[in-house]
Amino acid sequence: MISLPNKVTIIEVGPRDGLQNEKKNVATEHKLRYIKGLQKAGVKEMELTSFVSPKWVPQMADAADIMASVEKTGRQFVLTPNARGMENAIAAGAEHVAVFVGVSSTFNQKNINKTTDQAVEQLAEPIQQLLSKGIFVRACISTAFYCPYEGKQAIEDVIHLCRTFVEMGVQELSVADTIGKASPLESYTLFSLLKDQFPNTLITAHFHDTEKMALANIFAAMQAGVDRFDSSAGGLGGCPFAPGATGNVATEQVVHMLHRMSIETGIDENVLQQTIKEIRPYVSM
């Protein structure tokens, strides 16, 4: 018997995860129009930007300007890779912060020049400081299924990393199929375990559509009890540190599928499509 939620929350990652991989600079004014359009469409949770080194991710160099200009409604996340990024985010008025670590040590070394254990250790104290200030912390778990360097990841390692963050006190785990190779059975298996292991933590699924199984993986995750999904309007994005990772699953496709199944999202499909149409000339869709 199929068990599905009545309502699903979409966490829009286009303005951050989507745009960060664009080689051509997208002007701040276009990013702001994109964000405003998504909010108008009914998106209540969103990754706005990232406080990272402009040297490594030049597309995010205007993070402070974005934060100063957007209307902060609902949970509006900024990604921060380290203590310095967190300090800059707090100074810019961030109330919802995302951190990230991959299950794969090789992936982390290619990305942030640290093993998984080193990355977690570096984040422990800054996360406690964020939580002490009342800031909502979301931990993004990369390469939870497959790594472009190591291949399939052990499910025990995924659970261990998630437990470490839960014990730190983070309120949400966003668990990612970073290179889009997971199958629906793998999705159902992992998310069933996560929902069972961490019943008091928000569990969000993040799928890429590399092998065109993202929607099927979302359907499987919903049957495992997940009702929160990351997606990117227009299917923008990928990961600059994960070879072969194509775009995130497209928000418009996810919302359409959910609405066809009478699952509420609170998102207006027409306004969403208009927003995608307006950003399209400035990105490589």
Q: Which residues are catalytic?
A: 239
Query: How far is it, in rounded angstroms, from Cα 95 to Cα 91?
Result: 10
For residue 285, which of 11, 79, 34, 28 has the smallest C-alpha distance? 34
DSSP label at residue 27: P
- In contact, 175 and 206? CB cutoff 8 Å: yes
Please tell me whether residue 207 adopts helix, strand or coil conformation.
Answer: strand
DSSP per-residue string spanning 138-187: EEEEESSSEETTTEEPPHHHHHHHHHHHHHHT-SEEEEEETTS---HHHH
- In contact, 274 and 28? CB cutoff 8 Å: no
Neighbours of 112 (CB within 10 A): 19
For residue 27, which of 58, 50, 71, 68 has the smallest C-alpha distance? 58
Adjacent-strand bridge partners of 136: 96
Please tell me whether residue 36 adopts helix, strand or coil conformation.
Answer: helix
Half-sphere exposure for 34 (CA within 13 Å, toward CB): 29
